[in-house]
């Protein structure tokens, strides 16, 4: 496995095809390991898996946890090596943004809803860094977890609208045995807060079970679970079509939730079949 920290080193690395990239902000956990394992499986033993580790300042608001976000490069590299990563790109801020960006990716109207309503400008920062990383790593495949479902949806739209020559591969959310979605921010939770955080998954699964009775029943079932744990503060709970447009009639849908548990903000989502 090779560690690169400059764009020149990255370009000089052997361009083995096919090539898959997994983009992260580090603090890797089993969810990231699942992305890397899927990447390794898809490119085969003769392909190349690239991992990027970069805490992207453009996607953090002025009151968010950029400085607090965990940086765990040594353990990240150990996980990467264990999952068969060939190349790690871990640039500094100055390397990736030598000048303050004056041109960024405009993510469109969906970026002002859900997460974007709570975190203005977040998705412009996400799509800008994803676009840069796709350009620099030149992959055939890019893998993203479904836990960040709105992000995944916007990346798919960007790749389609800008004719980027890469396949976007979604990977299912990885959960703890009790259902809590794996997140680098889970380490901020106290023992009590972690127990409280389980209500997010309970609300989603309750909504999914009510899908046979239609959208209103889905929302009612989810809200009933959330009301039982008032210490968890909900930013939003929404039921949308798979492309995050409005739900129209029966079929597949996606329920998304964001909430604050203590000082930690968590997101999750689940697929729902509406009858």
Distance CA 59, CA 129 (A): 9
Q: Judge whether 223 is annotated as a binding position.
A: no
Q: Judge whether 147 is annotated as a binding position.
A: yes
Distance CA 195, CA 198 (A): 6
Spot the catalytic one: 32, 106, 135, 223.
32
Q: Judge whether 185 is annotated as a binding position.
A: yes
32 belongs to the catalytic site: yes
Query: Could you tell me if 204 and 221 are in contact, meaning their C-beta atoms sit under 8 angstroms apart?
Result: no
Query: Could you tell me if 264 and 112 are in contact, meaning their C-beta atoms sit under 8 angstroms apart?
Result: no
Q: Judge whether 135 is annotated as a binding position.
A: no
**CB neighbours (10 Å) of residue 3?**
15
Distance CA 110, CA 158 (A): 12
Ramachandran class of 196: left when φ > 0, alpha when ψ lies in -120 to 50, beta otherwise: alpha
Query: Could you tell me if 47 and 17 are in contact, meaning their C-beta atoms sit under 8 angstroms apart?
Result: yes
Q: Judge whether 263 is annotated as a binding position.
A: no
Q: Judge whether 125 is annotated as a binding position.
A: no
Q: Judge whether 77 is annotated as a binding position.
A: no
Q: Judge whether 150 is annotated as a binding position.
A: no
Q: Judge whether 88 is annotated as a binding position.
A: no
Q: Which of 122, 264, 107 is nearest to 194 (CA)?
A: 264
Q: Judge whether 5 is annotated as a binding position.
A: no
Where in the sequence numbering do the catalytic residues fall? 32
Task: Give the annotated binding-site residues for ATP.
Answer: 25-32, 145-148, 174, 182-185
Task: Give the annotated binding-site residues for (R)-pantoate.
Answer: 59, 151
Task: Give the annotated binding-site residues.
Answer: 25-32, 59, 145-148, 151, 174, 182-185
Task: Give the annotated binding-site residues for beta-alanine.
Answer: 59
């Amino acid at each position: 496995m090779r560690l690169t920290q400059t764009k020149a080193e990255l370009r000089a690395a052997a361009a083995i095809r096919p090539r898959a990239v997994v983009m992260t902000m580090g603090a890797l956990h089993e969810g990231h390991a699942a992305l890397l394992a899927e990447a390794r499986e898809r490119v085969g033993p003769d392909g190349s898996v690239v991992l990027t580790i970069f805490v992207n300042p453009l996607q953090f608001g002025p009151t968010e946890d950029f400085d607090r976000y965990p940086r765990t490069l040594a353990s990240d590299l150990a996980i990467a090596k264990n999952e068969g990563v060939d190349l790690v790109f871990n640039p500094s801020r100055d390397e990736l943004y030598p000048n303050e960006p004056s041109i960024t990716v405009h993510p469109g109207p969906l970026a002002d809803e859900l997460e974007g309503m709570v975190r203005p400008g977040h998705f412009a920062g996400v799509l800008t860094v994803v676009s840069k990383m796709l350009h620099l790593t030149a992959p055939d495949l890019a893998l993203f977890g479904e836990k960040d479902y709105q992000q995944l949806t916007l990346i798919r739209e960007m790749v389609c609208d800008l004719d980027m020559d890469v396949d976007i591969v979604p990977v299912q959310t990885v959960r703890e045995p009790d259902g809590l979605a794996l997140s680098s921010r889970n380490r901020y939770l106290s023992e009590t807060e972690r127990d409280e955080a389980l209500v997010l998954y309970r609300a989603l699964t309750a909504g999914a079970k009510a899908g046979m009775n239609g959208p209103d029943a889905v929302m009612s079932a989810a809200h009933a679970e959330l009301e039982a744990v008032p210490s968890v503060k909900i930013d939003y709970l929404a039921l949308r079509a798979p492309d995050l447009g409005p739900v129209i009639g029966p079929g597949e849908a996606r329920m998304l939730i964001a909430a604050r548990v203590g000082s930690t903000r968590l997101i999750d989502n689940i697929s729902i079949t509406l009858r």
